[in-house]
Structure 1
């Protein structure tokens, strides 16, 4: 084995590793788009029989069949979510029945008992807590940060929802689009045996 062959092999291995690293970095950067496409593919596979039903049985055109199928899928999803709303409302009602004054009184009794016990051990709780300046250590910027995270989460969810609907519409409208995109990955020898 000469040095030129060895150097070419090393360079080819380095280029292959760099290419794989760049490809993985690219996949990492577009991971949300990949998730949208996978969810849209699942929706289009589950909605395809509905589209065929509307096309064949009711003789509707492609776009109207896809829109009706997507409305049924989204309506079913929201109906499933709405099943849990009474449960959440009931739990909220149960929490509203909680006697806050009694709970606060019980907590005050526990505090007094702990303070008495510690005083019997020559540990003074109130002076110790005042030394720590607890109120000055509270981070009040957490409240706007929490609200901002909720709003950004809602924005991200709405972008994802409409992206999935958009991609699903075209997967359902052109059924061969999804099939052809999967067939790109399958080698030609496997396709001919089908």
Structure 2
């Protein structure tokens, strides 16, 4: 199971009281006991049977980080699976969902997996209304191979033509980074999100203390 889980995955837990702090104490008061407890896998190492997770409450400020045990995972949904799910008809008109539908149509030939994260991914996984009229679409692209700058620029041009604002994050086997920052900053260093924290680097597919090797 540990190898099958990745950052941004949504996981359903067996009970709502299984989120602990780094010290092993019960943490995160925001899970609603009346709803199925869905949480998102955070960036970090999965070790000792513990998964780093993020919890989303009913309000925007209700966010917290903690850990849960692999044994508590009942179901897993990846971003690439979530994009194929449809919002309820009454909510499909929200801009973030319309943006997702637009990208689904315009990225048909893309040879890498992608899907929604953030509030859109959470709502599609859990069925709990979290997307608001002003919500952006968090777009997660999984890129095991290196993107050359022209390919990345063409992709960003397509994504940024969507009807709503898109926050595009690229995930390599080593880190995550902003697609917009990559296409506007390369070849200079950009912010890379790694399991050990944030660093500056210019090659997200080959890290060595934040530098190209």
Question: TM-score, normalization: structure 1?
Answer: 0.19
Higher relative contact order, structure no. (Cα contacts within 8 Å, ≥ 6 residues apart): 1
Q: For the pair shown, which has the larger CA radius of gyration, 1 or 2?
A: 1
Question: TM-score, normalization: structure 2?
Answer: 0.18
